Amino acid sequence: MPVGLNAARILAVAAVAAFSFAVSWIGIWPSSNPATIAVVAISVCAAIYAANSLLIRITNPDGKTQAADIRDATARPGSDRSDGLDEHTALFGQQDFERAFREDIERMKESLVIFSGFITPERVNACRDLFRERTSKGIAIRCVTRPPQYNGTISPERGKQALDLLEEIGVTVDCRRDIHQKVALIDGEIAWFGSLNLLSHGGSSDETMMRTCSTEFARKLAQQISLRAHTSISDLICAESPRCQKCSGRSYYYRDSRFRKRAYFVCEAGCGWKEDARSFIGALNQGAASHELPTIGPACPKCRSNTRLRGGRYGPFYSCSRYPTCKGKFDPRKRSQGAHALT
């Protein structure tokens, strides 16, 4: 609780007590009965305390946010309630965040992009059914997190398991060695960001997340966290990390600690493949504009499942949503050559 409010309460109570004693002493109180004086003083103190509590209704005694009231104000853009923030922005503690974030995902219609500093199988399993239901409806989900060998104290085996679980349900997975952002962008309009790792937190630490509903803010945030030079929300949905050119496994992005301008994509599985990232990112910037392509592509030429837009060294392409079980793919630049342009 803020120190200033505590001091104000103490002074208010002291003032009431002093006033009651003074008027009783000089004989101008309506009753000289001590019990009556005490009852009146306590009632006044209680009223002051209640009024003061209303002024800080968005803060609990332990300092955590009361998101229920704020949620009402921010769930509907244009609401006339702000609870201390503007009508599109709210702060959430860890417990309240879970409920509000799930509600946003259940209502989303187009896309979800998550940036998380770490990832665990437990957290992925907690979100698995919710994500699977959305991807089955054609809603694009992309998660950007760390590769297994750089996933903090989490073992590489468990980190790989978590990434595989996401890919199995049709989620696009990208890895960056040094990622530390905690961000979620929903439908290109709702932005969550703060201290909570969306794909790894287990409820053992105090966290704070901010939710804001602003297309312009979401667009600027997307530009800041993307590897591309110019990014739209639709670009951010597409994968940026190419598949390993030797084993077709996942790759991860990292910047050389000695020469920060040098960046590479490296095979996650350790097969030895490594490539200058500039060639791949340059293709994303100069190749077929991904915002002109739909996120969900034509049927996979091998298994007829949905394909999803990804980025590669030679520009965007469609890869089977069942990858790595199925490795069918399709090059949109060769659409005129038929659905089997890339298989």
Per-residue pLDDT tens digits for 133-176: 999 988 999 999 999 999 999 999 999 999 999 999 999 999 99
Least confident among 64-68, 130-134, 320-324:
64-68
Q: Are residues 174 and 74 in the same domain?
A: yes
Confidence of residue 178 (pLDDT cuts 50, 70, 90): very high
Confidence of residue 69 (pLDDT cuts 50, 70, 90): very low
pLDDT of residue 304: 74
Q: Are residues 7 and 36 in the same domain?
A: yes
Question: Which residue range(s) make up the domain with 304?
Answer: 287-343
Buried b (16+ CB within 10 A) or exposed e, 180-189: ebbbbbbbbb
Q: Are residues 51 and 74 in the same domain?
A: no
CB 131 within 8 A of CB 141: yes
At 308-337, the pLDDT tens digits run 777 665 667 788 888 878 888 877 755 433
Confidence of residue 94 (pLDDT cuts 50, 70, 90): confident
Residue 262 lies in a domain: no
Higher pLDDT, 223 or 282: 223
Higher pLDDT, 224 or 283: 224
Q: Are residues 32 and 139 in the same domain?
A: no
Domain end among 198, 216, 237: 237
**Mean pLDDT, residues 124-135 taken together:** 94
Higher pLDDT, 163 or 244: 163
Read off the DSSP letter of residue 337: G
pLDDT of residue 80: 36
CB 275 within 8 A of CB 265: yes
Residue 7 lies in a domain: yes
pLDDT of residue 67: 41
pLDDT of residue 336: 39
Higher pLDDT, 330 or 60: 330
Q: Return the CATH number at 300.
A: 3.30.65
* % of the chain at pLDDT higher than 70: 64
Q: Return the CATH number at 83.
A: 3.30.870.10
pLDDT of residue 229: 73
Angle at 160 between CA 114 and CA 104, to 5 degrees: 20
CB 192 within 8 A of CB 90: no
Residue 137 lies in a domain: yes
Give the chain's domain count. 3
- Spell out the long-range contacts of 12-17 with Cβ–Cβ below 8 A and sequence spacing 24 or more: 12/45, 12/48, 12/52, 13/45, 13/48, 16/41, 16/44, 16/45, 16/48, 17/41
Q: Are residues 117 and 195 in the same domain?
A: yes
Q: Are residues 81 and 213 in the same domain?
A: yes
**Mean pLDDT, residues 87-116 taken together:** 92
Q: Are residues 121 and 89 in the same domain?
A: yes
Confidence of residue 282 (pLDDT cuts 50, 70, 90): confident
Q: Are residues 176 and 98 in the same domain?
A: yes
Q: Are residues 15 and 131 in the same domain?
A: no
Residue 245 lies in a domain: no
Domain end among 207, 222, 237: 237
Examine the pLDDT at 204 and tell me if it is beyond 70. yes
Identify any residues that bridge with 274 across adjacent strands, giving them in sequence order. Answer: 266
Confidence of residue 74 (pLDDT cuts 50, 70, 90): very low
Least confident among 31-40, 47-56, 248-257, 314-323:
47-56
pLDDT of residue 111: 93
Strands 329-330 and 315-320: antiparallel
Residue 252 lies in a domain: no
Q: Are residues 35 and 78 in the same domain?
A: no
Residue 242 lies in a domain: no
Q: Are residues 84 and 145 in the same domain?
A: yes
Q: Are residues 122 and 218 in the same domain?
A: yes
Higher pLDDT, 25 or 192: 192
Residue 253 lies in a domain: no
Examine the pLDDT at 1 and tell me if it is beyond 70. no
Domain end among 16, 33, 55: 55
Residue 229 lies in a domain: yes
Q: At what angle do helices 34-55 and 3-26 cross, to 10 degrees?
A: 160
